Amino acid sequence: MRRSVPTSVPRWCAAIGALLVATSLAGRAQTIPSWLDSYREAAGRLIGAALANDFAWQRLAELTDTFGPRLSGTRNLEDAIAWIAGEMRADGLEDVRTEPVMVPHWVRGEETLEIVSPGPRSLALLGLGGSLGTPPGGITAEPLVVSSFDDLDARAAEVSGRIVVYNVPYQGYGTTVQYRTGGASRAARHGAVAALVRSIGPMGLRTPHTGGMRYDADQPEIPAAAISAEDAAMLQRMQDRGTRVTLRLSMEAHFEPDAPSSNLMAEIPGRDVPEEIVVIGCHIDSWDPAMGASDDAGGCIVTWEALRLMKQLGLQPRRTVRVVLWTNEENGLRGATAYRDAHADELDRTVMMLESDSGVFEPAGFGFTGSAEARRIVTDIATLLDVIGANRIGPQGGGADIGPSVEAANIPALSLEVGGDYFLIHHSPADTVDRIDPADVARNAAAIAVMTYVIADMPERLPKTE
């Protein structure tokens, strides 16, 4: 059953929304720079159309409900890409196309962690993406709980033959994620047989969070997995109490041969300078424990929706606007590098790149990396978004998928910034559409639509990054 397309039914509704927003924007005229006068009406219409209904959230729900997790190498991912391409064509977007990318095909398989003694019991576990598995029958060993890499090094003499458990409280993703990405090899250096890491996120409900990890070339490769904060704290208490614990870790994780996938893109061609391109997007792959609704189907929906809104309203900007759904962000970045290479001749003509990959919660605005002059322009444009609370321009923009292209050609880079509890559900089974508010989807789509439309349409090209 295809959802009713909102170009027909809620047009009167969208018109009213646009009117209300335009009125609101008019009332704030003193704060909006005069060079944006000509964009007030378009901004009002885009915002009004976005807020008129929950079409974008419903599409997000249908995408995540129908295709579920979209790990690189799975049929779910490829089916999702094919379905989105069909929907994009139905939306009237142009040049809808896929570009092939070979992606790693890591398979989780069955995995269990038990406390063999004292008292047999299972612990919640999520193997880390990229880990190898255990031998059949698992690895049975005593844990050694450490609180940091320094603590590990200080206890180096005790590590051999043990399963190292990193019980590092969450202090922000950027700070703590090093234990997930590099913990296995650091432990292997001292003779550990496996590594378990307290999940990188705030305390949940015994919720493990997966994510990528890497092996150092000069260390033995040992299996690595995430456990919940609660179980890490328990193993810590047992160690502190002097309880002798035996764990059995069993993981079937392995790589299969690289699999075909693709980046997906669609456009609204520029009416005046189509060779100059504004690129906005997200990653369509996800980790496998959940639906990847916030990471990153929501980002795909709001960037795609920005183009759909322009198309619906007949807003064709001066330059080309392209939405790209990159593949394999989570465990390879192959889509990001393939895009950079396939579009090498375009990067100098790429005016701006924007990524949404921090969830779609209460809108805050955008992060921006670029020249001071470009920042002034982007900050001016954001005044049009004051009405939906998305007017803040943060100190840094970018994203994993746009990173290679942005770096290759000094392209101004934006990232969607939102509030919310992204890291509570990130990479965990709880990353479902239920935690995303339809109104937030609409507001973020509107914010991206307005920002993108103005950058793509304004007379002067947004200055390049110095």
Report yes or no: 302 and 279 within 8 Å, Cβ to Cβ. Answer: no
Judged by beta carbon, residue 69 or residue 370, the one nearer its own copies is 69
Q: Which of 312, 428, 444, 452 is the binder for its own copies (CB under 8 A)? A: 428
Judged by beta carbon, residue 245 or residue 458, the one nearer its own copies is 245
At closest approach, how far in Å is the CB of 118 from its own copies?
5
Q: How far apart are CA 437 and CA 193, in angstroms?
A: 44
Phi, psi of 237 (to 5 degrees): -60, -40
Which residues ranging from 85 to 124 are in contact with its own copies (CB under 8 A)?
A: 115, 118-121, 124
Which residues ranging from 354 to 373 are in contact with its own copies (CB under 8 A)?
A: none
Choose among 329, 145, 127, 340: nearest CA to 239: 145
Q: How far apart are CA 11 and CA 446, in angstroms?
A: 16
Q: Which of 214, 237, 254, 376 is the binder for its own copies (CB under 8 A)? A: 237
At closest approach, how far in Å is the CB of 3 from its own copies?
8
Q: Which of 238, 259, 273, 408 is the binder for its own copies (CB under 8 A)? A: 238
Q: Which of 207, 303, 327, 415 is the binder for its own copies (CB under 8 A)? A: 207
Q: Does 429 bind its own copies (CB under 8 A)?
A: yes
Which residues ranging from 214 to 233 are in contact with its own copies (CB under 8 A)?
A: 229-230, 233
Judged by beta carbon, residue 203 or residue 439, the one nearer its own copies is 203
Judged by beta carbon, residue 62 or residue 437, the one nearer its own copies is 62
Q: Where are the alpha helices (DSSP H) in 314-428?
A: 334-342, 372-382, 403-409, 422-425
Judged by beta carbon, residue 431 or residue 457, the one nearer its own copies is 431
List b or e across 76-114, with b for residues whose CB sees 16 or more CB atoms inside 10 angstroms.
bbbebbeebbebbeebebeebebeebbbbbbebeebebb
Q: How far apart are CA 435 and CA 415, in angstroms?
A: 21
Judged by beta carbon, residue 75 or residue 89, the one nearer its own copies is 75
Which residues ranging from 123 to 152 are in contact with its own copies (CB under 8 A)?
A: 124
386: left (phi over 0), alpha (psi -120 to 50) or beta: alpha
Judged by beta carbon, residue 56 or residue 382, the one nearer its own copies is 56
Q: Does 256 bind its own copies (CB under 8 A)?
A: no
Choose among 269, 264, 266: nearest CA to 456: 269
What are the structure tokens assigned to 61, written together? 């729900």
Site pattern 380..419 for its own copies (x: CB under 8 A):
----------------------------------------
Residues assigned a catalytic role? 329
Q: How far apart are CA 428 and CA 171, in angstroms?
A: 18
Beta bridge partners of 350: 277
Q: Does 20 bind its own copies (CB under 8 A)?
A: no
Q: Does 204 bind its own copies (CB under 8 A)?
A: yes
Q: Does 68 bind its own copies (CB under 8 A)?
A: yes
Q: How far apart are CA 304 and CA 37, in angstroms?
A: 26
β-strand pairing of 139-141 with 319-326 = unpaired
254-268 β-sheet, strand order: 94-107, 254-268, 319-326, 273-283, 350-355, 413-418, 363-369, 392-394
At closest approach, how far in Å is the CB of 227 from its own copies?
12
For its own copies, the binding residues (CB under 8 A) are 1, 61-62, 65-69, 75-76, 79-80, 115, 118-121, 124, 203-207, 229-230, 233-234, 237-238, 241-243, 290, 424-425, 428-430, 432-434
